[in-house]
Amino acid sequence: MTLAPKHQRLVLVLLAVAALIGAVMLAMWGLSDRAAYFRTPQDVAAGRAEVGVPLRLGGMVEKGSIQRMPDGVSVAFVLTDGVGQVPVRFTGIVPDLFKENSGAIAEGQLGRDGTFVADNILAKHDERYMPPQMGNQAAELMTRETAK
Amino acid sequence: MIAEAGLAALWLAFSLALLQFGLAVASNRLGDLKTLVAPVAVAQGVLTLLSFALLIWLFLRTDTSVQLVAANSHSAKPFIYRFSGAWGNHEGSMLLWVTVLSAAGALLALVERRLPERSLRATLGAQALLALGFFGFLLIASNPFTRLDPAPLQGQGLNPLLQDPGLAFHPPTLYLGYVGLSVAFSLAVGALVTREVGPAMARAMRPWVLGAWVLLTIGIVAGSYWAYYELGWGGWWFWDPVENASLMPWLAATALLHSINVLAARGSLRAWTVMLAVVAFSMSMIGTFLVRSGILTSVHSFAVDPTRGSFILGLLIFYTGGALLLFALRIASVREGARFEIVSREGALVANNLILSVILGTVFVGTLYPVAVEAVSGEKISVGPPYFNATTGPLVLILAAVLFIGPLLRWRRDSRPNLRRIAGPVVVTILAFALTFIDPEMNLLPRLGLAFAAGLAAASFLPLAGRDLRRTPLTIWGMVISHLGIAVAMTGAAADASLTRETLAAARIGEVLTVGPWKVRFNGVDPVAGPNWTAIEGHLVATRGSTAIRLDPQSRYFSSPPTETNEAAITTRLDGQLYTVIGKRQGDRWQLRLWWKPMVTFIWLGGALIALGGLLALIGRLRRERGRPLPLAEART
């Protein structure tokens, strides 16, 4: 079928609008159950973190908390934001910039026993980089550490 | 004095951009003076280049009396990293951005001969207005030439992760791509202002979009490979906001590239093409905003600086909003394009554009959703791979299906498309799908990915069928190779998602580990030293059948600034890569991570083919259109 020019433009506009709406609906569907929520140890302490769903947990690695497991490839540590403390377990090679008193984000799930089982650890990529969500906490924490 | 000269050149260039904009706006009342617009654009470009060259010189000399050099360089660094250090930081990279923007404007003024003069002047005016904003950003919020008093004896060094030859040239490549799209934006604005939206605009725009698209492709592919081998994570796409920031302009530019062809060849899709040109550069600016503002949690963010973020956001709103307003005001006066039927080359290209737009939309929503949620509810969330894979995966499959048939259709109408021609690729797809059941563990999406990729690889050659290969235009070769590249990259991605085997262990010296078809023996470690690092190097010997390969992954330590990095040792075979990383010491054992990744190299091989196809098309276009002015009647439409 050949459409009149006006109608052809109309069809194209409608298609474009439909594509846009489609994109947004698809995105909303995807976000409804796949957006990984960012939580802080404080949230976990206050019970504001769901058990058994994908989450990102961000905080500072507590001083003296890093423990290597006997299998040689697992590590346990505590993420803190000065208020809450969450034990984290991870199997794998931790990123190079993962260390005590430094920011890290664990991706994984919170278990019923309160331990966070991470399947990925993100440490800062640039020595000046700090996740914005943690910028304030870290600054406070460091001031407190210095004050001690 | 070098720093002062650089700053002066920058201010001069800023003034010339102001002059260029003024001349372009008033050109109708200026008489002969209007011919000055192009020379001013060239002078502005030269001055900005000079300013950037002076910054590089400061870095090469490690002049620590300049704050930026002191903060980002060190005289003990290898030459190439003192050189690339000039743009491995916020201020320097923004100066690079402005330099490319100005140089692109200058080049446009020098070479463009096919546009009506009025349109060219309006385009250069738009380009000057773009440059003004970014000059302002540099001079007010990010001056790269600020002095430091007293000057420290030594600089702080460059982040070791950035000390990699690939990374040294990764940002400039991406920036050339980002900013190349600024010319498409300015051409669209110029055409709207002078009401000259038509094939002439499309032909002037096409080489810029092709060039920008090729560079973006190379930048993205190189960045992906860099992340893969340098970070030691064994992954190649993380859906990090900064990666998305380069993907979004690429998607828009890909759509634009296809709609430009319709406009240049057939005169159709005028409003849509102009819109895409505006969107593509806006995506470049959004990318810059995301990277520079630090508003998103990204592993790449440079600095958390609200002032800079809001400055770029202001520029983004001004330029995108202004262009969209102009679009809304002028679009009614854009002439109708030629008609076409739904089943036609045009129809297929519209479908391609719509799918690419939907992919762009979902990536855009996913990337900016956390910002919106935090602004509205204060809740901090982040969107990751589960979302992006689930939404874009199926869309890429649909896109691949459109790619089967699109290139085979004729322009305008194809009432009886020759369906027999696609029978072959369809059979290949079905056979490949059946073959994937050799591995019963595989998920549906990788299965379909492998099947569609096989079919698309076969289909991509069909446009060559029945042609004299030596007389086939380069542009056709470009399309065939790019589409084949999509199939190859899809194969790699699907293989990586479904066939990778991993072994993670703490091994004693002499221990033998197994990964996929390989036996890997751990022969011990040695300390080694480089120019500015020391490392522990693991010695592995991997055997499969009669082949034995040595692999020496390193765990490096840099003292300035104190940082550790992993150097993965990778061996490339015809059927895949063996990827090894050495981790921390645990008593008498060492952490080893081994991956066998079948066909993983196809990801980057495909990316390289996509870029090569674009390059061939660009050469073909430039050759064909050189010195061939448009007939006057066509130039006026």
**pLDDT tens for each residue of B227-241:** 888 877 788 888 888
Query: Residues B523, B517: contact at Cβ < 8 Å?
Result: no
Alpha carbon A104 to its chain centroid, in Å, reads: 9
Query: Confidence band (pLDDT; 50, 70, 90) for B373?
Result: confident
Residue A37 annotated as lining a ligand binding site: no
- The residues pairing with B598 across neighbouring beta strands, listed in sequence order, are B576
Instruction: Kindly state the percentage of chain B with pLDDT values over 70.
Output: 93
Instruction: Give the pLDDT confidence score for residue A87 in this predicted structure.
Output: 95
Report whether B456 contacts B404 (CB < 8 A).
yes
- Please return the burial class of B353, using the count of CB atoms within 10 Å of its CB with bins 0-12, 13-18 and 19+: buried
**What is this model's ipTM?**
0.76
Residues 12-51 of A with CB under 8 A from B: 12, 15-16, 19-20, 22-24, 26-31, 34-38, 40
CA dist., res. B83 & res. B75, Å (int)? 11
Rounded CA separation A91/A71 (Å): 9
Mean pLDDT estimate for chain A: 76
Q: Residue B252: is its pLDDT beyond 70? A: yes
pLDDT at residue B257 above 60? yes
* Least confident window among A13-22, A32-41, B105-114, B177-186: A32-41
Sign of torsion over alpha carbons B134, B138, B139, B142: positive
CB pairs under 8 A between A and B: 161
Contact (CB<8Å) A126/B384: no
- Among B387, B494, B515, B500, smallest CA distance to B443 is for B494
* Model confidence band, residue B159 (pLDDT cutoffs 50, 70, 90): low
Please return the burial class of B619, using the count of CB atoms within 10 Å of its CB with bins 0-12, 13-18 and 19+. middle
- pLDDT, mean of residues B405-431: 79
pLDDT tier at A129, thresholds 50, 70, 90 = very low
User: pLDDT at position A124, please?
Assistant: 58
Chain A residues closer than 8 Å to B555 by CB = 96
Above 90 in pLDDT, residue A137?
A: no
Q: Is A129 annotated as a binding residue?
A: yes
pLDDT (0 to 100) of residue B613: 97
Preferred mutation among A2, A42, A96 to probe B, highest tally of B CBs within 10 A = A96
User: Among all chains, which residue has been given the structure tokens 């076409």?
Assistant: B340
**Would you state the pLDDT for residue B605?**
97
Band the pLDDT of B309: cuts 50, 70, 90.
confident
What DSSP designation does B276 have? Answer: H
Over chain A, what HEC string results? Answer: CCCCHHHHHHHHHHHHHHHHHHHHHHHHHHHHHHEEEEECHHHHHCCCCCCCCEEEEEEEECCCCCEECCCCCEEEEEEECCCCEEEEEEECCCCCCCCCCCEEEEEEEECCCCCEEEEEEEECCCCCCCCHHHHHHHHHHHHHHHHC
Q: What pLDDT, on the 0 to 100 scale, is given for residue B289?
A: 78
Residues of A in contact with B563 (CB under 8 A): 96-97, 127
- Average pLDDT of chain B to the nearest whole number: 87
- Place B631 in a pLDDT band, splitting at 50, 70 and 90: very low
What pLDDT, on the 0 to 100 scale, is given for residue B561?
A: 66
* B593–chain A Cβ distance below 8 A for any pair: yes
- pLDDT at residue B249 tops 90: yes
Count of beta carbons in the 10 Å neighbourhood of residue B461: 13
| pLDDT recorded at residue B422 | 78
Return the structure tokens found at B515: 């990964």
Could you tell me which residue, B572 or B412, shows the higher pLDDT? Answer: B572
Q: Quick check: A133 contacting B, CB < 8 Å?
A: yes
Q: How far is B86 from chain A (nearest CA, A)?
A: 17
Give the model's confidence band at B259: pLDDT under 50 very low, under 70 low, under 90 confident, else very high: very high
Q: Is B412 on the interface with A (CB under 8 A)?
A: no
Single out the residue of A24, A3, A25, A23 nearest to residue A12, CA to CA: A3
Q: Return the closest-CA partner of residue B272 out of B281, B262, B282.
A: B262
Chain A residues in contact with B585 by the CB 8 A cut-off are none
Mean pLDDT of B20-46: 89
In this structure, are residues A27 and B391 in contact, taking their beta carbons and an 8 Å threshold? Answer: yes
Q: What angle do CA A91, A95, A98 make, to 5 degrees?
A: 100
Q: For residue B450, name the pLDDT band (cuts at 50, 70, 90).
A: very high
**Which tens digits make up the pLDDT trace of A74-119?**
999 999 988 889 999 999 888 767 888 888 888 889 999 989 999 8
Least confidently predicted of B9-18, B373-382, B492-501: B373-382
Which residue in B333, B373, B391 has the most chain A C-beta atoms within 10 A of its own C-beta, making it the best mutation to test that interface?
B391
Q: Is the pLDDT of residue B358 over 90?
A: yes
pTM: 0.89
H-helix segments, B112-161: 117-141
Q: Do B263 and B334 touch, CB atoms closer than 8 A? A: no
Split at pLDDT 50, 70, 90, the class of B537 is very high
Report the residue count for chain B.
Answer: 637
User: B398 to chain A nearest CA, in Å?
Assistant: 13
Alpha helix (H) ranges present in B305-344?
Answer: 306-330
Q: What pLDDT score does A76 carry? A: 93
